[in-house]
Amino acid sequence: MNDNSKGKAPSRRQFLSGAAAIGVGAVGAGTARAAGPDPLITQVQEWAQATGEGVDATPYGLPIEFEKDVVRRNVEWLTADTISSINFTPIHALDGTITPQGCAFERHHSGAIELSKSDYRLMINGLVDTPLVFTYEDLERFPRENRIYFCECAANTGMEWAGAQLNGAQFTHGMIHNMEYSGVPLRTLLEEAGVKPEGKWVYVEGADASSNGRSIPLEKAMDDVLVAFKANGEALRKEHGYPVRLVVPGWEGNMWVKWLRRVEITEMAIESREETSKYTDTLEDGTSRKWTWVMDAKSVVTSPSPQAPITHGPGPLVITGLAWSGRGAITGVDVSVDGGKNWLPARLAAPGTDKALTRFYLDHNWDGSEMLLQARAKDSSGYVQPSKAQLREVRGENSIYHNNCIQTWWIKENGEAENVEVS
């Protein structure tokens, strides 16, 4: 195999800077003897002598400067303008399952608007006994729930249909975040208005110019949909729909309407722009699937990966990643180091929960040879994450959305990684 990666690729650059930062002493890590005393230990360091910053230096804290590379990133050529665009969560650099709001991916159709709580209104209308208007304060007086759910854009991994394209887990799988939401079940608000028997759907829309209207079957709306105003314990961020967004567990992110302003009970689907011209999946013969709401089981190794190469040489290696399913809980993840010939069950950091991210680990002893790393998720419905070939066989290459194929990272002998496709 050709080992000559292009100097321009981010993996290469990050690999070099990462290696330099860790230093020569790291190469023979583990039981190897130190060549000499480590000055970081033998010499009194500045931070051990002088004092640090006082409290209130940053009233709302930000990550320390050493972590400044762990940020959302955009792929400029994907869209015409950042106002109607998407960026990606740095999943390659995160651990655990909760995504901090500040680096959780953004997707806007007409920009992130600023809507204050005092200007906020939510209307319930259509086929209800009493059309209602709620203020933000009203919402906070309803009985509340806390739930952890993943939100994945239907287009996550969408650039990979025709082949390996973007070199990094952030770019191939970063249209996802996982937060703990506090909010009111939509069911509670609908019952407050009284749904008429002929009501079969809810049409939800946002306050921004795009409105991003979507139709949701009443059954789902009455099941687990939340009208959320807090995420990870604090107010939603502007870019995630402050002050109120919809949470539609397990279903494609486009339905999680931000700046939620109206819920209309209807007899039929409205067939808005976002559920006809977009978020429909064209098959090989030119017909298109619509109403493909649920996100199928999926997983990805987040480290090592192109943006998170191995810098420590052979020996103990933590292989880790994320798995999730919109159809239920993750029941297991298998990892392959040989491109899918053989699989090993990974260790789940905690038992999978319904429609939320699950962290997995494979504690591996790397012999320093090349690996073709893959992960394969299984969920509580019995679904097993398919290969790209299996998906293409049914759907062709033009679906754009709902690509939940098994991802392969080619780990080279020097620890660098590259996004590849394998036979």
Partner 1 sequence: MSKYRKLLAASALGASLAVPAYAEKLGLGRPALPEEIAAWDLDVAPDGTGLPEGSGDVFAGEEVFAEYCAICHGDFAEGVDNWPKLAGGDGTLADKDPLKTVGSYWPYLSTVWDYVNRSMPFGNAQSLEPDEVYAMVAYILYSNDIVDDEFTLSHKNFLDVEMPNAEGFIVDDREATEAHFWTEEPCMTDCKESVEITMRAAVLDVTPDEGKAEDVEPQPAVQAAVEVEEVAEDTAALDPEMIESGKKVFKKCKACHQVGEGAKHRTGPALNGIIGANAGAVDGFKYSKAMKAASDGGLVWTDAEMAAFLAKPKAYMKGTRMSFAGLKKSEDIAAVIVYLKSFGS
- Binding to partner 1 (CB under 8 A): which residues in 274-333? 276-277, 280, 282, 284-294, 296, 306-307
230: Cβ contacts below 8 Å, ≥ 6 apart: 181, 182, 183, 236
Q: What is the dihedral of CA 136, 139, 140, 141, to 10 degrees?
A: 130
CB nearer partner 1, residue 29 or residue 162: 162
Nearer to partner 1, 42 or 342 (CB): 342
Interface residue with partner 1 among 340, 353, 361, 414 (CB under 8 A) is: 340
By CB under 8 A, tell whether 334 contacts partner 1.
Answer: yes
Q: Which range in 29-37, 48-56, 237-245, 272-280 contacts partner 1 by CB under 8 A?
A: 272-280
Answer yes or no: are the C-beta atoms of 257 and 272 closer than 8 Å: no
One of 113, 148, 235, 343 touching partner 1 (CB under 8 A): 343
Alpha carbon distance 301, 309 (integer Å) = 12
Which span (19-27, 260-268, 347-355, 358-366) binds partner 1, by CB under 8 A?
A: 260-268
Shortest spacing between CB 362 and partner 1, in angstroms: 14
Instruction: Name the nearest CA neighbour of 253 among 146, 174, 345, 137.
Output: 174
Q: Which tokens sit at 180?
A: 């703990």
**Smallest distance, Å, CB 413 to partner 1?**
15
When asked if residue 378 is in the footprint of partner 1 (CB under 8 A), the reply is yes
Choice between 97 and 419, CB closer to partner 1: 419
Q: By CB under 8 A, is residue 95 in contact with partner 1?
A: no
CB of 59: closest distance to partner 1 in angstroms?
27
**Counting contacts by CB under 8 A, is residue 168 touching partner 1?**
yes
For partner 1 (CB under 8 A), the number of binding residues is 109
Residue that has been written with the tokens 């090993």 in this structure: 344
Q: How far is the CB of 12 from partner 1 (least distance, A)?
A: 8
Q: Does 118 bind partner 1 (CB under 8 A)?
A: no
Which residues face 234 on adjacent strands? Answer: 231
Integer angstrom CA distances of residue 36 from 21, 41, 42? 19, 11, 10
The binder of partner 1 chosen from 130, 197, 198, 219 (CB under 8 A):
130
Q: Is 138 among the residues that bind partner 1 (CB under 8 A)? A: yes
What the block records as the tokens of 203 is 């049409």
> Given the rule CB under 8 A, which of 10-18, 42-50, 241-249, 313-321 is the region that contacts partner 1?
10-18
Query: Quick one: which of 79, 119, 223, 367 contacts partner 1 (CB under 8 A)?
Result: 79
Q: Distances in Å between the alpha carbon of 253 and those of 10, 152, 156, 365, 405?
A: 28, 5, 10, 37, 18
Give the CA angle between residues 418, 421, 423 to the nearest 5°. 140
* Positions in 213-252 near partner 1 (CB under 8 A): 213
101 binds partner 1 (CB under 8 A): no
The structure tokens listed for 342 are: 């053989």
DSSP state, 294?
Answer: B
Q: Which range of residues in 18-26, 233-241, 338-346, 349-357 is near partner 1 by CB under 8 A?
A: 338-346
Among positive and negative, which fits the CA dihedral 275, 277, 282, 286? Answer: positive
Return the structure tokens found at 419: 């996004």
Site for partner 1 contains 6 (CB under 8 A): yes
Neighbours of 287 (CB within 10 A): 8
Verify binding: residue 358, partner 1, rule CB under 8 A. no
Residue closer to partner 1 (CB basis): 55 or 80: 80
Token pair for residue 196? 């008429």
Q: Minimal distance in Å, beta carbon 117 to partner 1?
A: 15
Alpha-carbon span 348 to 355, nearest angstrom: 15
Pick from 321, 366, 313: nearest CA to 19: 313
Give the pair of three-digit tokens for residue 357: 């991210």
Count CB-CB contacts under 10 A for residue 219.
Answer: 9
Q: Which is nearer to partner 1, 101 or 381 (CB)?
A: 381
Residue 244 to residue 303: CA distance in whole angstroms:
34
For residue 243, cis peptide bond before it (omega within 30 degrees of 0): yes
Interaction residues for partner 1, span 386-415 (CB under 8 A): 386, 390, 394, 397-398, 410
Of 176-215, which residues contact partner 1 (CB under 8 A)? 185, 191-192, 194, 203, 205, 209-211, 213
Q: Does 271 bind partner 1 (CB under 8 A)?
A: yes
